[in-house]
Structure 1
Amino acid sequence: MDRAFYYWKTDGYSISNQENQILKDHDVKKLYIKFFEVDYTEAMGNFPISKTQISVPSYPSENSMINCEIIPAIYIKNIVFKKSAEKDLDKLADNINFLISKFTKEKFNDITISEIQIDCDWTASTKDKYFYFLKKLKPLAQKEISCTLRLYPYKYPDKMGVPPVDKVTLMCYNLINPLENDSKNSILDLDELKSYLNTDKKYPLHMDVALPLYSWMQIYQNNQFTGVLYDGNELKKYLKPTKPLWYEVTKDTTIDYKNYLRVGDKIKYEEITASKIDQAIAMIKKNVKLDKEITVTLFHLDENQLKNYTDAEINHFYSDFTK
């Protein structure tokens, strides 16, 4: 079993010494780094956004920041496939392959890349175009192509199709639209997870597993959703619980110099505890037919979020899959 992390920060972030230490301490073999996203507008067509700023000039060496395999991950918004004709997708495959090569050269000292992961929440109506794009990318990249697999297409492959890739990563989180159900944890709800996993069929591709190690706070002001806080630790002392998952702000306070919260503002705090992950792992092992050798990827490498777990707990999230 290979241990992996996602690294999903963009715009000026770089891996800290603490984050690098986490990789070493847990013998992490793979780091899936979001290189960029692809979005669409009528004016510009398909274009890349949210590019990573991370660079690892001394890779690979004894003193290098990162001593694990780097795998480019590209998030493509579903609108790209809604709006693109096949000729646009030919060009998109070409452009993505070109940009990955450029980033690898400029930011990662031209390391050898053996896999590219495409992340997309495709739908039944976009699957044909998405699969067409994946087929085009493979001969251009001449690498192993993997893609993320949400729980709905995992359970309903007849309806959603099976992507033409070498392997998939089952995303065991973000099961519910965050703004649609105010009584459930949208990151990971165990009942919801179980309902998708109860299928007798083995998925026809090699399947790896990804789990969430992050929490967030949704902010509601005047009962309107106004944003998300990823690091709300300093806010906790000003919150009083009102019902499961929900809190009220008890003191006017400023967070991150940009979020001003007033008394009475409501917070939905969706937290992922170690015990919740343990229960999810037990459920996955019981219900999903996994190959002997898999990669387990934790989302994501962020020292502030990972402070919520001990080293022993993080270690278990990996090792429990081999028991």
Structure 2
Amino acid sequence: MHRLAVLLAALTGILCAKNVTNPYQSCPLEKMQFASEGSFYVWNTTGPLPGAAALSRFSAQRIYVRYFDVVNGEGPEPAGIRHDVTTDIEVVPVIYITVPALERLSKEQISSLAQNIVRLIGKIGFSGNEIQLDCDWNAGTKIAFFSLIQELRELSSRKWGRPIQISATIRLHQVKYFRSTGIPPADRGMLMMYNMGQLADLTETNSIFRMDTARRYLNKNVREYPLPLDVALADFSWGIAFVHGSFHRILNDLDLAELMAVATPESPNWYSLEKKANLAGYPLPAGTRIRWESVGPCDRAGALSLLSKTLPAMKDRRIAIFDYNSVKSESHQELIDLFHASGAHCPHDSCSD
């Protein structure tokens, strides 16, 4: 009986997630003047980019595109390079930098890294006026990361002959404790309202987003944060696999129906494998426990409401969805409603309401 109840609860979740006619049936979506512009992240480094026609329904004016990562090899080196950035909408290159790639870098090495980043961005293609760096810097890499931002701004502006803004992603803990973590010398920040929990902790219920966790981070310090903050909300799901009680791996792009077809439900978001199986392209042994995590319409509506009450007003704030999925996103009336409720709009004739 318990397993049947859990299965019914999971099925209800799937049906609710697909209810595009009234995704906010169980939660209010407040109209506000919080953001002026909508946008998406495109994190996959392969495949075509969405264009204006696909994004016009969202009134989106730009996309944040992951160009490549900077990882630690024999010094910092690029990985996962996107080669095609063809689209008719504005692109902001995003460079993901791992913490080890910044460790123990000299001033000369930081300058060389900035030059290599600018060179590779130019090779891939760039016609905008903003570059974004994504790095969860720590006390040991703060100076290197902040110096890299300054070097990158100077070099990119010189290369393209126009002012280039450098934005940086900002984690919630970096806002709450900004007096100790420091303020990056960026032109603006992108506050990440996701990946806020303890992913590898068995007692965690949802490491992507929890309202109680968000409230704890968004204290009075957020109004004192000196950088203008855009905000990114999550629209993704994944499975977290545990083997023998220990974190094993993230199962990206795991479909809940795929999981339910081979796993036994334990509770509304926990499943177990009674025999070995392949999920999201990975072999998993019998006994694997999987925590299913997702962010739904009401989570995003709640996050938007909380942010509108805690962040200071800003005329040109952007709201971004992480991340774009050509099948899922284009059918999400909920995301269209979310952008419109936030106050985001598109001034161009090509955008539709």
TM-score by length of structure 2 reads 0.78
1:128 alignment partner in structure 2: 143
Q: Does 1:226 align with 2:241?
A: no
Gap runs ≥5 in structure 1: 57-65, 105-110
- Find the partner of 1:117 among 129, 132, 142: 132
**SS where residue 203 of structure 2 aligns?**
coil
* Alpha-carbon distance between aligned partners in 2 of 1:114 and 1:21, rounded to the nearest angstrom: 22
Amino acid across the alignment from 1:3: G
CA drift at 1:305 = 5.3
- Find the partner of 2:80 among 39, 42, 50: 50
Distance 1:213 1:140, change over 3 A: same
Contact 2:49–2:85 (Cα < 8 Å) also in 1: no
**SS where residue 164 of structure 1 aligns?**
coil
**SS where residue 199 of structure 2 aligns?**
coil
Contact 2:241–2:249 (Cα < 8 Å) also in 1: yes
Contact 1:211–1:277 (Cα < 8 Å) also in 2: yes
Computed over aligned residues only, the root mean square deviation of the Cα atoms, in angstroms, reads 2.3
Contact 1:72–1:117 (Cα < 8 Å) also in 2: yes
Contact 2:84–2:124 (Cα < 8 Å) also in 1: no
* Alpha-carbon distance between aligned partners in 1 of 2:196 and 2:313, rounded to the nearest angstrom: 20
2:101 alignment partner in structure 1: 80
2:171 alignment partner in structure 1: 150
1:319 alignment partner in structure 2: 340
Distance 1:259 1:128, change over 3 A: closer
CA drift at 1:124 = 2.5
Q: Which has the higher contact order (CA 8 A, sep 6+)?
A: 2
* Alpha-carbon distance between aligned partners in 2 of 1:30 and 1:292, rounded to the nearest angstrom: 17
Contact 2:234–2:295 (Cα < 8 Å) also in 1: yes
Amino acid across the alignment from 1:132: S
* Alpha-carbon distance between aligned partners in 1 of 2:140 and 2:244, rounded to the nearest angstrom: 37
Contact 1:235–1:255 (Cα < 8 Å) also in 2: yes
| Aligned positions of 1:174-323 closer than 5 A | 174-200=195-221, 201-233=223-255, 234-249=258-273, 253-255=277-279, 258-261=281-284, 264-303=287-326, 306=329, 311-322=332-343
Distance 1:199 1:244, change over 3 A: farther
1:108 alignment partner in structure 2: none
Distance 1:112 1:68, change over 3 A: same
- Find the partner of 1:139 among 154, 161, 169: 154
**SS where residue 220 of structure 1 aligns?**
strand
Gap runs ≥5 in structure 2: 1-35, 158-163, 345-353
TM-score by length of structure 1 reads 0.85
Q: Does 1:40 align with 2:72?
A: yes
Deviations 1:240-280 (A, max 9, x none): 33235311235654345x42345543111011111111111
Deviations 1:59-100 (A, max 9, x none): xxxxxxx33101110011112222211110011111111111
CA drift at 1:232 = 2.5
CA drift at 1:20 = 7.3
CA drift at 1:161 = 1.4
Distance 1:39 1:216, change over 3 A: same
* Alpha-carbon distance between aligned partners in 2 of 1:252 and 1:162, rounded to the nearest angstrom: 47
Amino acid across the alignment from 2:296: T
Q: Does 1:9 align with 2:44?
A: yes
**SS where residue 176 of structure 1 aligns?**
coil
Deviations 1:216-260 (A, max 9, x none): 01123343433222232222333333235311235654345x423
Contact 1:216–1:269 (Cα < 8 Å) also in 2: yes
Deviations 1:157-193 (A, max 9, x none): 2111111111111111111231035333111111111
Distance 1:290 1:122, change over 3 A: farther
Which 10-residue stretch deviates more, 122-131 or 276-285?
A: 122-131
**SS where residue 226 of structure 2 aligns?**
coil
Deviations 1:204-227 (A, max 9, x none): 121100011000011233434332
Contact 1:214–1:299 (Cα < 8 Å) also in 2: yes
Amino acid across the alignment from 2:326: E
Contact 2:58–2:339 (Cα < 8 Å) also in 1: no
Amino acid across the alignment from 1:196: Y
Q: Percent identity?
A: 28
Q: What is the number of equivalent residue pairs in this alignment?
A: 300
Amino acid across the alignment from 1:139: E
